[in-house]
Amino acid sequence: AQKVTQAQTEISVVEKEDVTLDCVYETRDTTYYLFWYKQPPSGELVFLIRRNSFDEQNEISGRYSWNFQKSTSSFNFTITASQVVDSAVYFCALRAYTGANSKLTFGKGITLSVRP
Amino acid sequence: DTAVSQTPKYLVTQMGNDKSIKCEQNLGHDTMYWYKQDSKKFLKIMFSYNNKELIINETVPNRFSPKSPDKAHLNLHINSLELGDSAVYFCASSQVPGSPYEQYFGPGTRLTVT
């Protein structure tokens, strides 16, 4: 069985602060994929990043960065210099590479509020 | 040039009615999914189809029946609607099943059963 834990439920920061969203996962598979999705107040789900289990390089995209640590089964997401538009629910998700019926398992999401 | 579209966006209906939600993707993907997001924002997969064939069927009541007329469309029909069916339903698509590729989601359909 696979599981994604996002222990933080709600985070509130003031604009321009840095914020890290934590994600811890469990899986017995040796090959798996991790994802982050953003759900803004408008409701759609927006794909942010995919990371393969065999690629532990961190990634930076503008103000966003992701830290994947296999040793601690974590895939954390940092927003630098947060902006009001970053206010959203952020989901971490995991899919094991076990064939056609592999499922995407989501964490419960973290609600981020960025205040002006 | 919408990638994954769903209709309707909002659906308000009474208990006991039957309703359908339609989904279409123009990404050329082989696999489509239905997810349910409850009031606490928890997302859970319901069904997955690959090239019109059902490959994932979670423990969903029989009142829910997906139908895929072709690989670009996946509809969800719900019979005898109950209050507990109120949720946001998301359609998604991805490239071949079991691949590492991300899933792209539609805008969601907010179903309210009164």
> Token digits for A12?
């509130």
Neighbour-count burial of B101, counting CB atoms closer than 10 A to its CB (0-12 exposed, 13-18 middle, 19+ buried): middle
In this predicted structure, the answer to whether residue B27 has a pLDDT above a threshold of 70 is yes
Region B62-70: mean pLDDT is: 93
Q: What is the DSSP letter of B71?
A: T
B9 touches chain A (CB under 8 A): no
Region B50-64: mean pLDDT is: 86
Region A4-33: mean pLDDT is: 95
In this predicted structure, the answer to whether residue B34 has a pLDDT above a threshold of 90 is yes
Residue B99's pLDDT is 63
Residue A115's pLDDT is 96
Region B18-45: mean pLDDT is: 94
Residue A103's pLDDT is 85
Residue A54's pLDDT is 87
Residue B53 falls in which region: left (phi positive, over 0), alpha (psi -120 to 50) or beta:
beta
Chain A residue nearest residue B57, CA to CA: A101
In this predicted structure, the answer to whether residue B100 has a pLDDT above a threshold of 80 is no
Sign of CA dihedral B31, B66, A88, A104: negative
> Mean pLDDT for chain A?
93
Residue B1's pLDDT is 63
Residue A19's pLDDT is 98
Let me know: does A18 contact A82? Beta carbons within 8 Å: yes
Region B37-48: mean pLDDT is: 94
B93 touches chain A (CB under 8 A): no
* Residue A72 binned pLDDT confidence (cut-offs 50, 70, 90): very high
In this predicted structure, the answer to whether residue A44 has a pLDDT above a threshold of 80 is yes
- Alpha-carbon gap: B47 to the closest alpha carbon of chain A (Å): 10
Interface test with A, best of B29, B32, B41, B105 (most A CBs within 10 A): B41
- Classify B30 as helix, strand or coil: coil
**What letter represents residue B9's amino acid?**
K
Residue B102's pLDDT is 84
**What letter represents residue B32's amino acid?**
M
Percent of chain A at pLDDT above 70? 97
Residue B101's pLDDT is 76
Residue B58's pLDDT is 86
Higher pLDDT, A47 or B56: A47
Residue B47's pLDDT is 92
